[in-house]
Structure formats: structure tokens, C-alpha cells
Structure 1
Amino acid sequence: MAKRALILIEGNPRGLGLLFVQAAQRLGLHPITLSADPSRYDYIAAERLEAIRVDTDNLNALIGECSRLLATYDIAGITSATESFYATVGKLCRYFDLPGPNPASIERCCDKSAQRQFLTEAGIPIPAYRLATNAAEVESSAAEIGLPVILKPAVGLGSRGVRLCRNVDELAEHTTYLLGGKHIWRDSPRILVEEFAQGPHYWIDIMGNEVVGISAADFGPPPHFVFRECTYPAVLTDDEHDRIADVSLSCLRALGLGWGPTNIELRWTKRGPIVIEVNPRLGGSPAPELVQLAHGVDLVTGLIKLVIGEEWNLRRTHSHAAAARWLIADRDGTLDWIGGDSRAAAVSGIADVKLYIKPKMPIVRKGDHRDHIGLVVAASPSRARTEAILQRAVDLIGWSITPFPPPGEQE
């Protein structure tokens, strides 16, 4: 009898990819990663996992590789831990008659401009926005909306190219950055000029049509949106929880989602909940880990069961508080040393400590998720205790960065 395989289109270098692999193995599946560059994912070599080099931007190449694998394996399901390939996953699942997301719904969701059009037509509250393709349109759009505004690529991930522009100088500076060749566009440049909705920021984790939980997220200093901390579950009144859940489920209906996971970001403003973004995937790591620590709900395993056509449930087994703190570099330069992670990991209540960088690596801050140099995760029965545990562990970690020499100077 052929071995049952789970095909993973690309991986994820910061935790989620390994969670997918481990969940697949617990379910008795053989994970196979198809990637344009498998060496990007350290866990593939460390765990001696099967990986095949293939052009993952080429649907026909992926179909050919999966067809070849069918000669050896029973392909139980196909999925990805990366949003960029989720529409491709949907197309592969349809080709091979496997459970999967609707690719058209995923594509309209991943284009932030199209997403906003559908949400607007459904009457869902979102920030005022305009779509611009050149500097003049950016300037006129910002004038119509009123400063401050947020500029962001219409298609993108991880807050890349996203910035708060508080005055005309910042607006001009970031427009030049986006259109002047420093930002990498896969297609023609399209920029969203968006009202800055102010208020607490929340993540909503959904599986199918069920809200699993709501977490509160916090950013580092403006003008960038680099996540600093996430606490689960968020402190909300019953009315706030219900209104957030209602608007989140309305997003699914508006965008044709509801199969598998969805992660929604919104802010609670003077007008109530305003939807910032709908992501047709699991929340990035550590969101699934926090859900499991807080409630015992394993979203990754649930997704893989859904992918392979097995029954899954979201039954909570306990109610704890979980929180994560990202470590963020305070300057550009060369990392001299970083340490204390072992002592931090030994603190009672700490669930995970990750360092993403090593000594002698150059640190060049980008103003997005790539600025994270580490992560600490804690959990306990109470919110106050979890916060205290997290802070104690973070205080044990230290590092030193030597600034780069000024241009023209030799070391």
C-alpha cells in the first residue's frame, strides 16, 4: 500500500513550516516540500525531510511534479504555510480532486485593492482608501483622505513597504521609496493610500466559519508597523467580542471565504471595529501556538485534517493566557553577540524562545517583520502572571550591535 503523503508548497522559515511538518507526521503522513529553493528552510535539513526543487511559480511544473509523485505515493492532501502560494494550492487541489480553498476567493483576498472593493460593497467598515499608480495620484489621494495616511503596496506580505506618513515630507519620501526602485514589485506598482484608523489592534483567528479566538496585538514605534507583542485572548467586553466576531464573519461572506483558516486584522476605533486586512490563511507564527497554549486548540493539525478530508474539531480543553514578545534591533550594524536565550527558556512558564540571527550577521532594519531578531512566548493560568513571566525572560536576553562605519570611512 502506497505511503500517504502531504504535499507542502514552499515552507516557512520562522516556525510555521516546521509546525506543519510535525502535525503531518503525527497524523501518519509523509511530508514532502516542493520549493524553488529548499535550502531556505533550515528545518528541512535538520529533520532530514524530503524536499524537491521545482519552480513553484509555475503551476504546470507543480502539476507535473505531483503527477510524478503519484506513481510512488498516495497524495492525501496539498497545502502551504505561505499565503503567496495559497491560491496555487487551491488550483492544485481542484486539479487533483482534493479538498482545498477556492483559488478565486484567495486571489481576490490577496489583492488588497480588490479585497477592499468587495468589503465596501458588502457594507463592511474599512478605512477610507484610494488606489494610486504614480506620485501625483499618491499626493492627490492623500489630500482627499487627509493626513496622516498609510501607504502600502496593493499586494504584499509582512508589512513590507507599509508606512505611516504624517506629513507631506514623509509622504514624498515613502512614495519615492516605493516607486524609485527600492521596493520590489512583482507586477506594475499599485499603491494603497489609506486612512490611518486609530485604536487598539486585534487579530481574529477563524477556522471554517467559527471564530476560534481574538488576540490583542501591539506595534513598535511609528512610522512602521512592526509587531512587538501579542496577547491571547484579548480583554474585551461581551459586546465588543460579539461585534468583532460579527464583522469578521461578514468578511468571509463578502469575500467568498469560509473553507479552512482565515486571519483578520482590525482596529477598534471611535466608530467601532474597522477591518484593516483579511488574510485567507492561518495567522503567522506564533498565532497558532498562542491559540494552542491558551485553549488547547491545535489549528495546524485541524487544518491538515481538513486538507486530507478527515474530521476535526475546535473544542477547547482549558482557558489560559498566552503572550509573545518579539525582540527588535534598536540600530543597524554588525551583531557582536546575542545571548541569554537558554536562561530565558528555563524560566517556568516560558513555552518557546527563538533567536533568528547569529553573531557577526549584519543588521539592516527594513521597517517590517524582517526587523524581528527573536521571539519569546509565555503562558500561564492568569494574564498578570503571563506578562510577568514574559518580561522576566525577555530581561535575561541581551545583545550588542556595532554600528556600521559612516560612508567613506574604513574600519
Structure 2
Amino acid sequence: MARRALILVEGDPRGNGLLYVKAAQRFGLHPITLSADPARYDYPAAERIEAIRVDTDNLDALIHECSRLRATYDIAGITSAWEPVYATVGKLCRYFDLPGPNPASIERCYDKFAQRQLLAEAGVPIPAYRVAANAAEVESAAAEIGLPVILKPAVGSGSRGVRLCRNADEVAEHTIYLLGGKHIWRSSPRILVEEFAQGPLYYAEIMGNEVIGIGVADFGPPPHFVSRECSFPALLTDDEQERIADVSLGCLRALGLGWGPTCIEFRWTKLGPVVIEVNPRLDGAPGPQLVQLTYGLDLVTEHIKLVIGDEWNLRKRYSHSAAARILVLDRDGTLDWIEGDSQAAAVPGVVEVKFYVEPKTPVVRKGDIRDCIGHVIAASPSLAETEAILQRAVDLIDWSITPFPNVGEQEQHAAPCVAAPAQVAPGKR
């Protein structure tokens, strides 16, 4: 009998990819990663799994590779932990008659302008928005909406190219950055200009049509949106939870979702919950780990069950509190050393300490997810206790960054749009 395999199209170098690999192995499945650049992931070698080079933007190439693999393996399912290829995964699943997401729904979500249109038509509360293709249209849209505004690529992920613009000069500056050839576009250049919805940031973790829970997150200083901390579950009243859940289900109906995982981000404004973004896939790490620590519910495992045609079980086994602190670059230069992980991991209640960057690596703030260099996760019966555990652990972590010796070297590594100076944590230098 052929060995059952789970095909993972691309992965996630910093978290969920490895979670999918380990969950597949627990099922007795043979995980195989298809990637345009397998070397960007360290876990295939560490876990001794197959990693095959293939153009993951090319559906025909993926079909050819999966067809070749079927001669050796029983392909139980195909999925991904990486948003840009998730619509392609849906098409692959349909081609091979396997369970998977609706690719048309995924594509509508990945195009943030199309997503906004469908949500607006359904009466879902969203920020005011316009789409622009050139500098004049951006300037006009910002004037119509009113400053400050958010400028972001209409298609993208990881907060790349997203910036708060507080005045006309910042609007012009960021427009030049986005349209001047320095931002990498995965589609034709279009800029989404949005009202800046202000208020606490919440996110709903959803599987199928069930809201599993609601978390709260916090970003670093503007003008960029780099995650600093997230905790689960959020401290909300029953009415607030119900309002977020109702809006979440409205998003699913409007966008044709409801198969598998969805993560929806909200700002709680003076008008209540306003949808910032609907992500038609599992939340990025450490989101699934926080849910598992809080409820004993492994969303990665339950997603794989769905992918291979098994019945999932979304029952919550207990209720604790979990939180993650994200370690973020505080300056540009060469990371000389980073240490304290073993001491932080020894703090009672700490679940994981992970560094993403090796010493002697050039590091440059880009104002997006690439500024994150590690995380610490903790859990306990109460949020206050979890926060105290996190702080004790983070205080034990330290690193040193030597500034680039000259402008030429900095320009060699830097992105033109650099994040505002971060608040440096005590002990970081």
C-alpha cells in the first residue's frame, strides 16, 4: 500500500509551517513541502522531510509535480500555511478532487479592494476606502476621506507597504515609495487608501462557521504596524463578544467563506467593531499556539483533519490565558549576539522562546513583519499572571546591534521606507 502523504505548498519559516509538519507526522502522514526556494525553510532538514523545488506561482507546474508524486504516494490532502499561494492550493484540491477552500473566495479576499467592495455591499462595518493607481488618485482619495489615512497595497500580506500617513507630505512620500519601483508587487500596482479606524485591535479565530474565540493584539509605534504583543482570550463583555461574532459571520457570508480557517481583524471604534481585514486562512504564528494553550484546541490539527477528509472536533477542553511578546528590531546594523533564551524558557509558565535571526546577520527595519526577530509565549490561569510571566522572561533576553559603519553598507541592506524609531526595551543595546 502506498504511503499517505500531505502536500504542503510553501510554508512559514517562522512558525506555522513546522506546526503543520509535526501535526501531519502525528497522523502518520508523510509531509512533503513544495517550494520555489526550499532553502528558506530550516525545518525540512531538521525534520528529515522531503522538500521539492517547483514554481509555486505556476499551477500547471504544481499539477505536474503532484501527479508525479501520486505515482509513489497516496496523496491524502494538499494545503498551505502561506497566504499568497492559498488560492492556488484551492485550485489544486479541485483538480485532484480533494477537500479544499473555494479558490474564487480566497482570491476575492486576497484582493483587499475586492474584499472591501463585497463587505460594503453586505453592510459589514468597514473603514471608508478608495482605490488608486497613481499619485494624483491617491492624493484625491486622501483628501476625500480626510487625514490621517492608511496607504497599503491592494494585494499583499505581512503588513508590507502598509503605512499610516498623517499629512499630505507623508501621503506623497509613501506613494512614491509604493509606485517608484522599490515595493515588490505581486500584481498590477494599486493602492488602497483607507480611513484610519482608531481603537483596540481584536481578532477572531474561526473554523468553518464557528467563532472559536477572540484575541487582542497591540502594535508598535506608528507610522507602521508591527505586532508587539497578542493575548487570548480578549477581556470582553458578553455583548462585545456577540457583536464581534455577528460581524464575523457576516464577513463569511459576504465573501463566500466557511470552509476551514479564517482570521478576521477588527478595530473597536466609537461605533463598535469595524473590520480591518479578513484573512481566509489560519492566523499566523503564534496565533494557533495561543488558542491551543487557552482552550486545548489544536487548530492546525483540526485543519489537517478537514484537509484529508476526516471529521474535526472543535470542543474546548479548558479555559486558560495565553499571550505572546514579539521581539522587534530597535535599530539597523549587524546583530552581534542575541541571548537569554534558555534563561527565559526556564521561567515557570513560559511555553516557548524562539529567535528568528542568527548572530552576525545584517538587520534593517522595514516597518512590517520582517522587523520581528523572535517571540516569547506564556500561559497561566489568568491574564495578569501571564503578563507578569512574559515580562520576567523578556527581561532576561538581550541583544546587541552594531550600526553599519557607513551609509553605503546601510543602503545595501536597507528598504527605503524605514520604520520610526522603536521604544528600546530596558537592557537592549
Question: What is the match of residue 150 of structure 1?
Answer: 150
CA root-mean-square deviation: 1.1
Question: What is the match of residue 115 of structure 1?
Answer: 115
Aligned-pair CA distance for 1:33:
0.8
Aligned: 1:7 with 2:7: yes
3-state SS of 1:84 partner: helix
Question: What is the match of residue 103 of structure 1?
Answer: 103
Question: What is the match of residue 285 of structure 1?
Answer: 285
CA distance in 2, matches of 1:408, 1:184: 22
CA distance in 2, matches of 1:221, 1:97: 46
Equivalent AA in structure 2 for residue 248 of structure 1? S
Aligned-pair CA distance for 1:409:
9.6
CA distance in 1, matches of 2:330, 2:269: 30
3-state SS of 1:234 partner: coil
Aligned-pair CA distance for 1:49:
0.6
Contact 2:55/2:62, CA 8 A, preserved across alignment? yes
3-state SS of 1:285 partner: coil
Aligned: 1:55 with 2:55: yes
Question: What is the match of residue 76 of structure 1?
Answer: 76
CA distance in 2, matches of 1:165, 1:407: 26
Determine what percentage of the aligned residue pairs are the same residue.
80
Find runs of 4+ consecutive structure 1 residues off by over 6 angstroms: none
Q: Deviations over 1:224-259 (max 9, x none)?
A: 000000010000000000000000010000000000
Aligned-pair CA distance for 1:152:
0.2
Q: Deviations over 1:262-320 (max 9, x none)?
A: 00001100011000000000000000000000000100000000000001111111110
Aligned-pair CA distance for 1:187:
2.4
CA distance in 2, matches of 1:289, 1:196: 30
Q: 1:408 to 1:353 in 2, by over 3 A?
A: closer
Residues 221-236 of structure 1: pairs in structure 2 closer than 5 A:
221-236=221-236
Question: What is the match of residue 190 of structure 1?
Answer: 190
Contact 2:155/2:187, CA 8 A, preserved across alignment? no
* The 10-residue stretch of structure 1 (247-256 or 333-342) with the greater mean CA deviation from structure 2: 333-342
Question: What is the match of residue 206 of structure 1?
Answer: 206
Question: What is the match of residue 316 of structure 1?
Answer: 316
3-state SS of 1:60 partner: helix
Question: What is the match of residue 171 of structure 1?
Answer: 171
CA distance in 2, matches of 1:56, 1:188: 19
Residues 4-403 of structure 1: pairs in structure 2 closer than 5 A:
4-403=4-403
Aligned-pair CA distance for 1:406:
3.9
Aligned-pair CA distance for 1:63:
0.7
Question: What is the match of residue 415 of structure 2?
Answer: none
Q: Deviations over 1:51-91 (max 9, x none)?
A: 11111111111111111111111111000010111111111
Q: Deviations over 1:79-112 (max 9, x none)?
A: 0010111111111111111110000000001000
3-state SS of 1:198 partner: coil
TM, length-normalised to structure 1: 0.98
TM, length-normalised to structure 2: 0.94
Equivalent AA in structure 2 for residue 210 of structure 1? E
Aligned-pair CA distance for 1:194:
0.3
Contact 2:152/2:193, CA 8 A, preserved across alignment? yes
CA distance in 2, matches of 1:209, 1:355: 34
CA distance in 1, matches of 2:113, 2:189: 12
3-state SS of 2:126 partner: coil
Q: 1:179 to 1:317 in 2, by over 3 A?
A: same
CA distance in 1, matches of 2:130, 2:329: 33
Q: 1:409 to 1:185 in 2, by over 3 A?
A: closer
Aligned-pair CA distance for 1:349:
0.5
* The 10-residue stretch of structure 1 (328-337 or 98-107) with the greater mean CA deviation from structure 2: 328-337
CA distance in 1, matches of 2:408, 2:15: 39
Equivalent AA in structure 2 for residue 236 of structure 1? L
CA distance in 1, matches of 2:249, 2:76: 29
Aligned-pair CA distance for 1:170:
1.0
Equivalent AA in structure 2 for residue 8 of structure 1? L
Unaligned runs of 5+ in 2: 411-429
Contact 2:292/2:298, CA 8 A, preserved across alignment? yes
CA distance in 1, matches of 2:53, 2:336: 35
CA distance in 2, matches of 1:49, 1:319: 35
Aligned-pair CA distance for 1:407:
2.4
Unaligned runs of 5+ in 1: none
Aligned-pair CA distance for 1:408:
6.3
Aligned-pair CA distance for 1:405:
2.6
Count of aligned pairs:
410
Equivalent AA in structure 1 for residue 67 of structure 2? S
CA distance in 2, matches of 1:392, 1:203: 26
